[in-house]
């Protein structure tokens, strides 16, 4: 089932022993377009601190109401490696974070989630200190994706293949994510007045590059191609 990232932002997150905050942002990689982390604002609980929550901590996104539960305790989250929300997430931080929880490195292996196609919760016996750093660094050479903020990219202008130096064809307004593998399937764009300000669905495969801090998202589509794209209705079920 596809989930609107806009609709998920603001939802409350609860640990096994109490509420921890609300979703402020999503970080996805620009290679697989998979959401790697939720950014949770902890509010007054850990004042002034945001924490990352990996999809590995969810048993399912099919949860009623506006409180999503993770398979972690408040203490685990509070003692997790602190992040600087004003700086990009480094690979060194990710390694420390994933080792802390005993989760696999998603950049190792052939699947979207390393050796798996979906994020999984390891058995307790599988929780180790991670792989050898030398082995890890060997694989980093072949993984050049960067983590992008859905909050930031969600404000970018879209430039078409025939409009590289002229007016944008629209603006990113949302992302639709598959709640099984956490991969973004569609970028939702609102066109300009030239196309009656319609909401259209674009595939991440059609994104040529993300240009920061311009901010611009370049797609391979011409204006004519965009007119043939699927329109998006928030009330409709998206295939």
Tell me: pLDDT of 124 over 70: no
Pairing of strands 199-202, 18-29: unpaired
Question: What pLDDT was estimated at residue 126?
Answer: 43
Q: Residue 140 — φ and ψ, nearest 5°? A: -65, -30
Question: What pLDDT was estimated at residue 62?
Answer: 61
* N residues, the chain: 239
Question: What pLDDT was estimated at residue 39?
Answer: 96
Question: What pLDDT was estimated at residue 163?
Answer: 58
Tokens linked to 36: 């790697």
Per domain, the residue ranges of the chain are: 2-147, 154-227
Of 166, 94, 159, residue with least CA distance to 133: 94
Can you tell me the mean pLDDT for 53-79?
85
Question: What pLDDT was estimated at residue 13?
Answer: 93
- Count of beta carbons in the 10 Å neighbourhood of residue 164: 10
Tell me: pLDDT of 133 over 50: no
Q: Residue 165 — φ and ψ, nearest 5°? A: -115, 5
- Which CATH number applies to 2-147? 2.30.30.240
pLDDT one-digit tens code per residue, 156-172: 999 998 655 578 999 99
**pLDDT band, very low/low/confident/very high, at 174 (cuts 50, 70, 90):** very high
Region of 118 please: left (phi>0), alpha (psi -120 to 50) or beta.
beta
Q: List the Cα angle 118/123/128 in 5-degree steps.
A: 100
> Residue 168 and residue 217: Cα distance in Å, rounded?
9
Q: Report the CATH fold assignment for 154-227.
A: Photosynthetic Reaction Center; Chain H, domain 2 (3.90.50)
Q: Which residues of 131-151 are buried (b: 16+ CB within 10 A; e: fewer)?
A: beeeebeeeeeeeeeebbbbe
Question: What pLDDT was estimated at residue 64?
Answer: 60
Can you tell me the mean pLDDT for 96-117?
93
């Amino acid at each position: 089932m596809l989930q609107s990232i806009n609709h998920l932002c603001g939802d409350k997150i609860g640990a096994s022993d109490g509420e921890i905050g609300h979703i402020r942002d999503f970080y996805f990689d620009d290679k697989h377009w998979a959401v790697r982390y939720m950014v949770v604002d902890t509010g007054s609980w850990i004042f002034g601190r945001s924490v990352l929550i990996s999809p590995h901590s969810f048993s399912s996104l099919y949860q009623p109401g506006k409180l999503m539960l993770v398979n972690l305790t408040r203490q685990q989250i509070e003692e997790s490696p602190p992040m600087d929300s004003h700086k990009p997430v480094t690979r060194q931080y990710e390694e420390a974070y994933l080792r802390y929880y005993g989760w696999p490195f998603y950049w190792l292996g052939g699947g979207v989630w390393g050796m798996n196609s979906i994020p999984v919760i390891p058995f307790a016996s599988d929780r180790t200190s991670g792989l050898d750093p030398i082995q890890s660094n060997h694989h980093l050479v072949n993984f050049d994706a960067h983590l992008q903020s859905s909050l930031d990219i969600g404000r970018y202008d879209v430039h078409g293949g025939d409009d590289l130096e002229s007016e944008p064809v629209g603006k990113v307004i949302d992302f639709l994510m598959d709640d099984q593998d956490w991969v973004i399937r569609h970028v939702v764009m609102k066109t300009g007045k030239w196309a009656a300000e319609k909401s259209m669905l674009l595939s991440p495969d059609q994104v040529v590059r993300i240009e920061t801090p311009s901010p611009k998202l370049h797609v391979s589509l011409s204006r004519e191609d965009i007119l043939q794209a699927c329109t998006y209705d928030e009330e409709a079920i998206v295939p």
